[in-house]
């Protein structure tokens, strides 16, 4: 079946007319249109195949057969095999290595054209967000302490406006996905495609419910309706073919495949089953047979059998053919006029199904048909998944017709000219290098130095050539027999010495000059390749001893200007990829909030939930990826070592700096480390100063206290001495007075004292008298008792008178 671009299904249709048959026709037609391969900008498929083969040091001798074998002798008969040396690959490898070392600095900011509109809403949005998050916290936490703690954290966001909040969340999303998707590796692989094929393309979309960024093989990607643009996003139709295993298909579209479709994939319908193995009855084609030839006029002549490259639903290994398509469609929307609460006339866009409220003054004033990106995936030949409008096309609020498909890419061409990659630039020199290398090998294979020629008729009789050569090479002797007879010819039977004056001589069979010439040509080709590619010998660390340091630096700096074109285009490509990725993340994070719950706090999640393609602003991605940034990064890392030695950074700071690839991050860490160390040193100085002041105050207080105590003690002692003297004096005076006033008998004893003394003496005498009486009575009692005892004893001794 023949397809033409004019036969592509009509896109200016109402939503109700975009039926299943319509989108199936769009996908099928787009997939078949790629077989025309009539793109004006891109290189032919065969040219890309040749370039990729050169990348793996594989060359088709037919490409240089006219130079190598002008006489049509057949290359297979030559003693040396023609092969690709790959000197151009060395230049490409160096640029790839430099690209991998360059830091990827990116930052998402709200575009300048969108800030004013957001500023009018940001106050209300921030109030709404804070109120919503506060309600969520109060509902989820019953403990008052937890609620207070969570609400206290919200105070951190009071200094942000809604723009700042959106930019902060956007950058956090990008940094997370950059690491998860390993974009450093993806971008490096794309840069290699750019240098080889002049094209770098990625898919940016949703696969398996998560954001996905993967490299696309330029050999399996086709565009139509691109005009003169060098951007994939500007084409009207994109198609990517690939072979996928059944397991890979299930990983991505498991929730969209029906049971019957799964059975079809498992059974590999459409393949021949022989001995429990799957095989195809498709013949083997060469590159030219399958994809056609490029004529002398430059026109690519397609082989009709070329469709067989993706002609079967399954390949020989059981992988299924998958065709991903994106195309621009049209959608009908209306411009609605309405009146706000203040009675002011306002406008907004509504879908075609919207019914205006005429009673409220609403009116559709205009119908427009902006572009709308659709996508669809065809598995095998009749399984369709992921069909519908792309929900993350990144439409602008200013221009509703703009947007981007799932594919982002750059074609490295100038204006409307054909693509020219670095491999295309180096390819003629690579061929010349291979030819010179091959010719040098041929000369080396036939290089024997000087060869000795000798007269065989003069060899001594009975000697074999081997024995004769042994005498020449080992014994350094050359025996000849000039009397030997000539055995053949007209002089047969005569002496050989008579007719032959040639005994032995040296014949030069030396290719040294030729080999030296080829070596000089190889060096000349290498020098030319370095000039054209911008990869000079100094850049490859091939520095001569006579070169100065300044000269080497200037040579490297000048050569970098030539290669900066590739890095500049690649940097612009990365900016567009990250911009598209942010749009995809806005869609996925909103549709699947739990996907970001381990990344963001409550406020961040609420911002994610509030994102909408029309409500959110457009973002600009600022990305820096230059050689200057790389030099700055290395200088900053060296400064970290000096900062450690100077005490302006800690070991942990240096480790984190050495592991970082971000100039902004390294400079921020150095600045923060310097401020932290200065702050800690200041705090230590203040603490030390405070400690010294405290010690001095304590010493002064102790000294003052000791001095005051001594003075107080001295004062108290003096006061005590004075008081004692005063008491003594007073006592003396009192004694004298008492003596004069109470001594009636003039015996110098006070009458009261004398009376107490007499009473005391009387009491003592009375007590003594009583004591003496008790003692006398006691003695009398003892005497009486003794007498009674004696009487009892005496009585006991007398005889009894009783009978």
Are residues 763 and 788 part of one domain?
Answer: yes
Domain assignment present for residue 761? The answer is yes
Give the pLDDT confidence of 600-659 residue by residue, as tens digits. 555 555 555 555 433 454 666 666 655 556 566 667 777 777 777 777 677 677 777 666
The structure's pTM equals: 0.67
Query: For residue 291, what pLDDT band results from cuts at 50, 70 and 90?
Result: very low
480 pairs with which residues across the strands?
none
Are residues 722 and 757 part of one domain?
Answer: no
Give the pLDDT confidence of 210-225 residue by residue, as tens digits. 899 999 999 889 888 8
Closest CA to 431 of 779, 84, 801: 84
User: Residue 405: is its pLDDT beyond 90?
Assistant: yes
CA-to-CA separations, 131 to 128, 135, 156, 159, 608, in angstroms, rounded: 5, 6, 15, 16, 16
Report the pLDDT value the prediction gives residue 508, as an integer from 0 to 100: 66
Residue, of 365 and 132, whose pLDDT is higher: 365
Report the pLDDT value the prediction gives residue 377, as an integer from 0 to 100: 94
Element (H, E) at 558: helix 549-591
Pairing of strands 293-294, 619-624: unpaired
Q: What is the mean pLDDT of residues 490-497?
A: 59
User: Residue 498: is its pLDDT beyond 60?
Assistant: no
Query: For residue 305, what pLDDT band results from cuts at 50, 70 and 90?
Result: very low
| Polymer length of the chain | 803
Domain assignment present for residue 698? The answer is yes
Domain assignment present for residue 501? The answer is yes
Q: What is the mean pLDDT of residues 193-199?
A: 94
Are residues 505 and 450 part of one domain?
Answer: yes
Domain assignment present for residue 706? The answer is yes
Residue given tokens 């020199």 in the structure block: 429
Q: Which domain holds residue 788?
A: 742-797
Domain assignment present for residue 729? The answer is yes
Are residues 452 and 533 part of one domain?
Answer: yes
268-287: buried (b, 16+ CB within 10 Å) or exposed (e) per residue?
beebeeeeeeeebeeeeeeb
Are residues 703 and 749 part of one domain?
Answer: no
Q: What is the mean pLDDT of residues 249-253?
A: 92
Pairing of strands 371-379, 345-351: unpaired
C-alpha to C-alpha distance for 713 and 61, rounded to whole angstroms: 118
Q: What is the DSSP string of 481-541?
A: -TTPBP-SSTTTTSBHHHH----EEEEEE--HHHHHHHHHHHHHHHHHHHHHHS--TTTTT
HEC assignment per residue over 755-778: HHHHHHHHHHHHHHHHHHHHHHHH
User: Residue 20: is its pLDDT beyond 90?
Assistant: yes
Residue, of 714 and 114, whose pLDDT is higher: 714
Report the pLDDT value the prediction gives residue 89, as an integer from 0 to 100: 92
* Mean pLDDT lowest among 149-163, 277-291, 334-348: 277-291
User: Residue 389: is its pLDDT beyond 90?
Assistant: yes
Are residues 768 and 676 part of one domain?
Answer: no
Helices (H), 646-662: 651-658
Residue 260 CA from chain centroid, whole number: 41
User: Residue 340: is its pLDDT beyond 80?
Assistant: yes
Element (H, E) at 397: none
Report the pLDDT value the prediction gives residue 148, as an integer from 0 to 100: 60
Q: What is the mean pLDDT of residues 741-756?
A: 65
Query: For residue 161, what pLDDT band results from cuts at 50, 70 and 90?
Result: very low
User: Residue 347: is its pLDDT beyond 80?
Assistant: yes
Are residues 521 and 474 part of one domain?
Answer: yes
Query: For residue 573, what pLDDT band results from cuts at 50, 70 and 90?
Result: very high
Are residues 749 and 730 part of one domain?
Answer: no
Are residues 662 and 717 part of one domain?
Answer: yes
Domain assignment present for residue 354? The answer is no
- In contact, 416 and 39? CB cutoff 8 Å: no
Are residues 538 and 442 part of one domain?
Answer: yes
Quote the number of domains for the chain.
3
Domain assignment present for residue 151? The answer is no
Cβ within 8 Å of residue 791, ≥6 positions away: none
Q: In the listed set 735, 756, 789, which residue is the last one of a domain according to the structure?
A: 735
Q: DSSP label at 347?
A: E
Domain assignment present for residue 769? The answer is yes
Are residues 728 and 764 part of one domain?
Answer: no
Q: What is the mean pLDDT of residues 447-455?
A: 72
Q: In the listed set 560, 591, 626, which residue is the last one of a domain according to the structure?
A: 560
Query: For residue 751, what pLDDT band results from cuts at 50, 70 and 90?
Result: low
Are residues 777 and 722 part of one domain?
Answer: no
Torsion-angle region of residue 268: left (phi > 0), alpha (psi -120 to 50) or beta?
Answer: left
């Amino acid at each position: 079946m023949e397809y033409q671009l004019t036969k592509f299904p009509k896109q200016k249709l109402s939503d109700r007319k975009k039926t299943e048959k319509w989108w199936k026709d769009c996908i099928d037609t787009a997939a078949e249109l790629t077989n025309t391969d009539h793109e004006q900008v891109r290189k032919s498929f065969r040219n890309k195949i040749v370039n990729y083969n050169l990348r793996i040091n594989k060359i088709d001798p037919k490409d240089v057969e006219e130079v190598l074998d002008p006489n049509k002798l057949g290359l297979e008969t030559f003693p040396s095999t023609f092969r690709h040396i790959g000197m151009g690959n060395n230049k490409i490898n160096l640029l790839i290595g430099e690209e991998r070392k360059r830091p990827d600095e990116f930052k998402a900011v709200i575009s300048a054209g969108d800030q004013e509109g957001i500023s009018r809403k940001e106050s209300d949005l921030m109030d709404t967000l804070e109120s919503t998050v506060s309600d969520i916290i109060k509902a989820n936490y019953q403990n008052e302490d937890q609620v207070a703690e969570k609400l206290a954290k919200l105070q951190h966001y009071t200094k942000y406006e809604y723009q700042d909040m959106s930019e902060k969340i956007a950058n956090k999303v990008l940094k997370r996905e950059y690491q998860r998707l390993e974009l450093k590796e993806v971008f490096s692989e794309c840069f290699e495609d750019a240098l080889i094929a002049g094209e770098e393309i990625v898919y940016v979309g949703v696969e398996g419910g998560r954001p996905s960024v993967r490299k696309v093989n330029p050999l399996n990607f086709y565009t139509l309706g691109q005009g003169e643009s060098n951007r994939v996003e500007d084409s009207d139709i994109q198609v990517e073919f690939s072979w996928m295993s059944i397991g890979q298909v299930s990983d991505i579209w498991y929730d969209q495949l029906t049971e019957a479709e799964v059975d079809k994939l498992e059974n590999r319908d459409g393949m021949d089953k022989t001995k429990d193995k799957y095989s195809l009855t498709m013949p083997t084609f060469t590159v030219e047979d399958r994809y056609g030839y490029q004529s002398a006029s430059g026109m690519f002549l397609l082989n009709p059998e070329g469709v067989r490259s993706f002609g079967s639903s399954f390949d020989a290994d059981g992988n299924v053919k998958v065709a991903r398509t994106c195309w621009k469609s049209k959608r009908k929307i209306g411009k609605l006029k309405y009146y706000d609460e203040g009675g002011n006339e306002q406008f907004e866009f509504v879908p075609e199904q919207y019914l205006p409220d005429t009673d409220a003054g609403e009116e559709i004033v205009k119908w427009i048909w902006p572009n709308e990106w659709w996508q669809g995936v065809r598995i095998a030949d009749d399984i369709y998944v992921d069909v519908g409008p792309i929900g993350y096309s990144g439409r602008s609020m200013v221009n509703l017709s703009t947007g981007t498909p799932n594919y982002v890419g750059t074609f490295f061409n100038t204006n409307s000219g054909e693509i020219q990659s670095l491999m295309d630039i180096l390819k003629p020199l690579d061929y010349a290098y291979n030819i010179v290398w091959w010719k040098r090998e041929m000369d080396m294979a036939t290089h024997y130095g000087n060869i000795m020629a000798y007269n065989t008729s003069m060899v001594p009789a009975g000697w074999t050539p081997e024995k004769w050569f042994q005498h020449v090479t080992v014994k350094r002797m050359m025996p000849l027999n000039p009397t030997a007879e000539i055995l053949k010819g007209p002089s047969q039977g005569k002496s050989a010495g008579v007719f032959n004056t040639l005994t032995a001589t040296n014949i030069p069979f030396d290719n040294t000059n030729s080999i030296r010439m080829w070596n000089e040509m190889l060096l000349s080709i290498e020098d030319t390749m370095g000039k054209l590619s911008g990869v000079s010998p100094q850049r490859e660390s091939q520095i001569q001893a006579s070169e100065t340091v300044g000269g080497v630096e200037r040579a490297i700096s000048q050569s970098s200007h030539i290669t900066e074109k590739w890095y500049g285009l690649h940097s612009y490509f990365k900016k567009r990829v990250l911009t598209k990725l942010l749009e995809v993340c806005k869609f996925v994070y909103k549709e699947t909030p739990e996907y970001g719950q381990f990344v963001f706090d409550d406020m961040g999640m609420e911002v994610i939930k509030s994102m909408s393609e029309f409500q959110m602003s457009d973002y600009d991605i600022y990305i820096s990826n230059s050689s200057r940034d790389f030099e700055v990064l290395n200088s900053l890392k060296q400064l970290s070592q000096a900062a450690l030695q100077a005490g302006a950074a800690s070991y942990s700071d240096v480790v984190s700096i050495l592991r970082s690839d971000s100039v902004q991050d390294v400079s921020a860490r150095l600045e923060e480390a310097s401020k932290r160390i200065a702050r800690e040193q200041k705090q230590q100085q203040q603490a030390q100063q405070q400690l010294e002041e405290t010690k001095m105050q304590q010493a002064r207080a102790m000294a003052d206290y000791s001095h005051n105590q001594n003075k107080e003690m001295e004062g108290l002692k003096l006061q005590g001495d004075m008081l004692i003297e005063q008491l003594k004096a007073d006592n003396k005076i009192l004694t004298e007075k008492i003596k004069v006033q109470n001594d009636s008998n003039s015996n110098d004893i006070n009458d009261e004292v004398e009376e107490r003394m007499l009473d005391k003496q009387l009491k003592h005498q009375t007590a003594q008298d009583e004591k003496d009486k008790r003692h006398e009575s006691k003695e009398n009692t003892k005497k009486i008792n003794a007498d009674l005892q004696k009487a009892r004893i005496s009585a006991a001794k007398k005889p009894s008178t009783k009978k």
